Amino acid sequence: MTLAIILAILALSVPVGIRLAKGRAVAPRIEQIRSVDLRAFRNLMDPEEEQYLRRHLPPADFRRIQRQRLRAAVEYINCAAFNAAVLTHFAEAARRSPDPVTAQAAAKLIDNAIRLRSYAFRAIPKLYLAMVFPGRGVSPARVAESYELMTRQVVLLGLQYPTGEIPRAL
């Protein structure tokens, strides 16, 4: 009976997966891009900042504040990953441009956006783990680097292809 239930759940997860894949293919809008403050994010992830707080706060307070900082970092990463998804859609359109320079810039942007989502996918579980064990150091610095690289690609793409409000939103 247990096996039958497991198999039925696995079978049901296929239409759920199809729904998710199809639902996410819906074209996003530029207005959906959320602002990400990279300096604040870097500050949250700064090991020296963490050490400073650890030295100057009682352990219970440090754990509480560190959890809040990590929660904020997860929010930042989620925003950056979401922006990357929106940009992937716009760059997909630009990649089909007859102008090879624009197409190349768009391909680079897609590459960076996907890389960022990949880092985000790996960083978020680590941050949640660090929330459970606040003393455990984490540094998803690659997310910040990747986000900066992606922002640069948006600007470069914008010089050849009208990306309008996107750079301002980023």
Residues near another protein (CB under 8 A) are: 1, 3-8, 10-18, 20-25, 27, 30, 85, 88-90, 92-93, 96-97, 110-112, 114-115, 117-118, 121, 151-152, 154-155, 158-159, 162, 164-165, 167-168, 170
CA–CA gap between residue 4 and residue 17 (Å, rounded):
20
CA–CA gap between residue 150 and residue 29 (Å, rounded):
18
Do residues 170 and 154 make contact, with C-beta atoms less than 8 angstroms apart?
yes
User: In this complex, which beta carbon is closest to another protein, that of residue 66 or of residue 151?
Assistant: 151
Residue-by-residue DSSP string for 73-123: HHHHHHHHHHHHHHHHHHHHHHHT-SSHHHHHHHHHHHHHHHHHHHHHHHH
Minimum Å gap between C-beta 122 and another protein is: 10
Minimum Å gap between C-beta 51 and another protein is: 25
User: In this complex, which beta carbon is closest to another protein, that of residue 137 or of residue 167?
Assistant: 167
User: In this complex, which beta carbon is closest to another protein, that of residue 64 or of residue 122?
Assistant: 122
Minimum Å gap between C-beta 21 and another protein is: 4
CA–CA gap between residue 31 and residue 87 (Å, rounded):
12
CA–CA gap between residue 42 and residue 49 (Å, rounded):
10
User: In this complex, which beta carbon is closest to another protein, that of residue 22 or of residue 56?
Assistant: 22
Minimum Å gap between C-beta 64 and another protein is: 32
